[in-house]
């Protein structure tokens, strides 16, 4: 019996590069937008002749960058504004579902009614999360790019002989943090959950730092999470503490697009488990609700054993990979597979 | 092993508590407390135009995304940071720094009900008040009229007292944008934006 060995679509192992492009674009935009805003204010005030040399330099650079796209910067550049917490794209408003949850919680104290136009701005992110799971964490979150670079930094430290922390905790802690954040929001009547959510912090801190002349307390908190990741647990904040990650995990529990292992191609090398930022177990078919479809495991897999599937649950554990040492010699069919492979 | 597991649980618990308490603690500790409290704060800081009347409702509705500041052409919208307490990351306008130009962009861009699109005459950020014991023309120390000439609502909001060309008087059409405060040349800024109450409205009419 010739086992038809399934091959994943050849571009899927390159999705991880696309992901880095996506993360870089989001982060670059977050840095760029405050400068764009300053430039717009100069344009709106016809202030070029009054600017100091450094301000004039900013004006010239932004004019060169945006010139090809617009004749009327003061108006047209309002098309893209905001950050991943809440933003507007050509009039389309998109908000983080956690913002809606936090606002609803904060409204408990003031007995505010729900404001539907705002909840609707979270509809597209929620729908995408229901389909693609926790994709925000891997593909968009502006903190992710810094956390992943931090992971790489930890790898350098390890190479240099230092020992970054790699402790493991219960992943359910972040649901408690989410609950805690919402309760704090409800008690104080203010968005306390945004004070412990790195993407919201980064979005506004970059704006404060660039356009308003100073970082706030959020930067201290974010640096603390970087240190936590470095010294205590790899990618620890996202894995164990992030309230937004908790909400996205819950929403993406029955996501339709998920990664699965092709057991026939797997050789049990465990590179997927090593690369996984979220401490999942792709080698044993265990993705769970935490997987953010970041596709790092697909990119690292040497035998094309990981692919996408469309079903709202993980498959059963299918045992050792058929190309692996554990499985070798167990059945004739697999012997054949091995020979043909 | 038993003890080790217990210690681990303890650490985890501490971390969870810290994740919630640390940001709150930061805000509480870093707030200067009393430096700019009470009346002084009410005098200096305005909410952006179209803001919810009740400040607690505004704080609860605002998600702190910073969009209103990011579209503001004069960059008058700033954000409470360490001084804010639970108001942290909510927008304010300090008219002594920059007044609002009533361009409506912040109301249009706000995703929540914190800032609602409001027609110009209905905007109520407060009402300007003038200290007649300090304002230069009112104490006969010269002529000025800066506030009157800058006012975007012109005759509806501010005018000169009939029998003295240079003594400014606030009218009920004032929406509290604060550009008069911004331009006031007097070092003690004897014009400010106060909360609009029936009493203020009456006093200013007189």
Q: Is B56 on the interface with A (CB under 8 A)?
A: yes
Average pLDDT, chain B: 81
**Residue in chain B lying closest to A189 (CA):** B60
Q: What is the pLDDT of residues B110-132, one digit of tens each?
A: 999 899 999 988 888 888 888 88
Contact B90, B64 (CB under 8 A): yes
Per-residue pLDDT reduced to its tens digit, B130-170: 888 888 888 888 888 888 999 998 888 888 887 767 888 88
Asked if B70 and B136 sit in the same domain, the reply is: no
CATH topology of domain A10-14+256-340: Alpha-Beta Plaits (3.30.70)
Q: Decide which of B89, B104, B119 is a domain's last residue.
A: B119
Domain check: are B148 and B112 in the same one? no
Confidence (pLDDT) at A206: 92
pLDDT of residue A338: 56
Distance CA A170, CA A177 (A): 12
CATH number at residue B115: 3.30.70
Distance from CA of B102 to the nearest CA of A (A): 14
The residue in chain B having the minimum alpha-carbon distance to the alpha carbon of residue A216 is B81
Same domain, B112 and B133: no
Judged by a CB distance cut-off of 8 A, whether residue B12 touches chain A is yes
| Residue in the block written with tokens 């909410």 | B47
What is the pLDDT, as a whole number, of residue B35?
40
Encode pLDDT of A45-100 as tens digits.
Answer: 898 899 999 999 999 999 999 988 888 888 888 889 989 999 999 989 999 999 99
Residue A82 and residue B67: Cβ atoms within 8 Å? yes
Query: B63 and A85 in contact by Cβ < 8 A?
Result: yes
Which alpha helices (H) appear in chain A, and where do they start and end? 15-44, 53-66, 73-76, 97-110, 116-121, 123-132, 135-139, 142-159, 173-188, 198-211, 217-231, 236, 243-251, 271-275, 296-300, 332-340
- Is B111–A121 a contact, with Cβ atoms under 8 angstroms apart? yes
Domain encompassing residue B84: 38-119
> Using N-to-C axis directions, what is the helix angle for A173-188 and B2-30, rounded to 10°?
30
Residues of A in contact with B66 (CB under 8 A): 82-83, 203-204, 207-208
At residue B37 the predicted structure's pLDDT band, cuts being 50, 70 and 90, is: very low
pLDDT at A335: 55
Whether B105 has its CB under 8 Å from any CB of chain A: the answer is yes
A37·B26 Cβ contact <8 A: no
Q: Is B31 on the interface with A (CB under 8 A)?
A: no
Kindly report the CATH number assigned to the domain that includes residue B130: 3.30.70.20
Domain boundary among B88, B119, B150: B119
Task: Please say which residue of B67, B86, B119 terminates a domain.
Answer: B119
Residue B189 has pLDDT above 50, yes or no: yes
Query: What pLDDT is recorded for position A130?
Result: 93
Size of interface A-B (CB pairs under 8 A): 171
Average pLDDT of B20-43? 55
ipTM: 0.83
Residue B6 touches partner A, C-beta closer than 8 Å: no
Which chain A residues touch B74 with a CB distance below 8 Å? 41, 44-45
Q: Give yes or no: residues B115 and B130 share one domain.
A: no
Q: Which residues of chain A have pLDDT under 50?
A: 1-2
Nearest CA in chain B to A41: B73
Q: Hey, is the C-beta of B59 within 8 angstroms of any chain A C-beta? A: yes
Q: Are residues B184 and B146 in the same domain?
A: yes
Q: What is the pTM of this model?
A: 0.84
Nearest residue of A to residue B31 by CA position? A217
Burial class (CB in 10 A: 0-12, 13-18, 19+), A112: buried
Asked if A81 lies within 8 A of B67 by C-beta distance, the reply is: yes
Q: What is the pLDDT of residue A122?
A: 93
Q: Are residues B76 and B133 in the same domain?
A: no
How many angstroms away from the CA of B133 is the closest CA of chain A?
Answer: 35
Cβ of B65 within 8 Å of Cβ of A181? The answer is no
Confidence of residue B171 (pLDDT cuts 50, 70, 90): confident
Q: Do B16 and A173 touch (CB under 8 A)?
A: yes
Nearest CA in chain A to B11: A169
Domain assignment present for residue B90? The answer is: yes
Look at B65 and A192 and tell me if their CB atoms are within 8 Å: no
Report the phi/psi class of residue A94: left, alpha or beta, with left for phi > 0 and alpha for psi in -120 to 50: beta
d(CA A299, CA A12): 8
CB contact under 8 A, A192 and B71: no
How many domains is chain B built from?
2
B27 touches chain A (CB under 8 A): yes
């Amino acid at each position: 019996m010739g086992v038809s060995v399934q091959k994943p679509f050849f571009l899927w192992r390159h999705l991880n590069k696309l992901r880095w492009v996506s993360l870089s674009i989001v982060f670059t935009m977050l840095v760029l937008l405050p400068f764009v805003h300053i430039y717009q204010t100069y344009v709106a005030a016809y202030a070029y002749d009054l600017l100091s040399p450094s301000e004039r330099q900013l004006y010239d650079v932004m004019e060169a960058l945006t010139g090809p796209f617009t004749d009327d910067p003061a108006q047209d550049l309002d098309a893209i504004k905001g950050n991943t917490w809440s933003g507007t794209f050509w009039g389309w408003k998109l908000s983080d579902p956690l913002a809606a949850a936090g606002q609803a919680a904060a409204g408990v104290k003031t007995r505010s009614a729900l404001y539907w136009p705002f909840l609707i701005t979270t509809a597209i992110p929620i729908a995408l999360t229901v389909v693609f799971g926790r994709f925000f964490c891997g593909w968009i979150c502006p903190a992710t790019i810094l956390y992943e670079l931090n992971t790489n930094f930890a790898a350098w430290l390890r190479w240099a002989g230092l020992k970054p922390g790699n402790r493991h905790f219960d992943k359910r802690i972040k649901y408690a943090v989410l609950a805690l954040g919402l309760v704090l929001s409800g008690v104080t009547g203010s968005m306390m959950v945004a004070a412990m959510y790195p993407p919201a912090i980064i979005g506004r801190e970059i704006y404060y730092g660039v356009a308003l002349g100073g970082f706030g307390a959020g930067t201290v908190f974010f640096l603390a999470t970087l240190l936590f990741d470095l010294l205590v647990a790899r990618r620890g904040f996202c894995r164990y503490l992030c309230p937004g990650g908790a909400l996205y995990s819950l929403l993406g529990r029955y996501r339709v697009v998920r990664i699965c292992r092709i057991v026939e191609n797997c050789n049990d090398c465990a590179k997927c488990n090593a690369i996984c930022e979220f401490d999942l177990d792709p080698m044993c078919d265990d993705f769970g609700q935490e997987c953010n479809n970041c596709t790092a495991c697909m990119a690292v897999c040497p035998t094309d054993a990981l692919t996408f599937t469309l079903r709202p649950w993980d498959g059963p554990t299918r045992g050792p990979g058929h190309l692996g040492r554990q499985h070798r010699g167990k059945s004739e069919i697999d012997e054949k597979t091995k020979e043909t492979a | 092993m038993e003890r080790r597991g217990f210690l681990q649980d303890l650490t985890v618990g501490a971390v969870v508590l810290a994740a919630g308490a640390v940001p709150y603690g930061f805000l509480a500790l870093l707030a200067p407390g009393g430096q700019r409290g009470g009346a002084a704060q009410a005098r200096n800081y305005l909410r952006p135009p179209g803001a919810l009347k009740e400040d607690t409702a505004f704080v609860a509705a605002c998600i702190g995304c910073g969009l209103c500041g990011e579209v503001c052409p004069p960059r008058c919208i700033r954000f409470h940071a360490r001084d804010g307490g639970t108001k942290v990351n909510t927008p304010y306008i300090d008219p002594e720094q920059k007044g609002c130009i009533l361009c409506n962009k912040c109301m249009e861009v706000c995703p929540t009900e914190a800032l609602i699109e409001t027609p110009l005459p209905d905007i109520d950020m407060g009402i300007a008040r003038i200290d007649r014991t300090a304002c230069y023309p009112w104490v006969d120390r010269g002529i000025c009229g800066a506030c009157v000439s800058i006012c975007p609502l012109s005759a509806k909001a501010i005018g000169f007292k009939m029998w003295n060309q240079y003594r400014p008087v606030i009218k009920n059409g004032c929406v509290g944008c604060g550009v008069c405060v911004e331009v006031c040349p007097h070092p003690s800024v004897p014009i400010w934006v106060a909360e609009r109450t029936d009493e203020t409205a009456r006093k200013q009419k007189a």
